[in-house]
Amino acid sequence: MAATIYLIRHGETEDAEEKRYKGHIDVPLSANGIKQIQRLSEYIVHYCSSRSNSLNSSNRLNSLNGLNAVYSSGLSRALKSAEIIAEPFKLKPVVIENLKERSFGVWEGMTFSEIEEKYPDAFRAWADNPLEYSPIEGENTLDVRDRALKAWNEIIRNHMDEAIAIVSHGGIIRVILCEMLGVPLENIFKIEQDFGALNIIELWDYPTIRCLNYVVK
């Protein structure tokens, strides 16, 4: 039996329409973001139940036919999302700091257009090649990859053949998906991750992506 990982981006944040780089800035979920994650939570409950019912009774998951654990970034937008996901399964999210979003350095709190206007060359270089270039005074992609995969590997080692949820951020999730898909990190921006997006990964002898960037409407 494979491990099943529900890899989730947090819900919409306050002022999301302004398209600012939040990074390590701790912004809360918006009212709409809370509703997004509530819908996703209901979907996961039904999905877990359906999945469990298809298994032999000796291979069932926990008594609630659901998740064995929930992990989260410590930033409130992710942690609140994780709490909503965890509640139906009577779980408490475990915070792992390495799941925190990338630091965008001096760009944090700025909109895309503000960065393009103030730092046009640096912004374009990073957008064109996020592996070679980094946000000014921010984390580079290799460092983000290293800490994200460290967290991933630690979690997976503790949950072989179980079902778990990991709630994190767009940058972290893209890195993990690149690793699972064998996609070069230069292409991280070719993987979309909307607010409240669900990705389902099954780990057999190799990872299988069962669901990618699914948003419950």
* Contact criterion met (CB below 8 Å) for 191 and 3: no
Phi/psi at 17 (5° precision)? -65, -20
Contact of 137 with 106, CB cutoff 8 Å: yes
> How does pLDDT run across 112-160, given as a tens digit for each residue?
899 999 999 999 999 889 998 999 999 999 999 999 999 999 999 999 8
Nearest in space to 7 (alpha carbons), one of 167, 203, 207? 167
Q: Do the beta carbons of residue 173 and residue 117 sit within 8 Å? A: no
Rounded CA separation 161/181 (Å): 20
Which pLDDT score, from 0 to 100, does residue 54 have? Answer: 58
CB count within 10 Å of CB 140 equals 17
Q: What pTM does this model have?
A: 0.92
Q: What is the pLDDT of residues 25-56, one digit of tens each?
A: 999 999 999 999 999 999 999 998 887 665 54
DSSP letter for 111, please. Answer: B
CA separation for the pair 81, 120 (Å, rounded): 34
> Could you tell me the domains of the chain?
3-102+141-214 (3.40.50.1240)
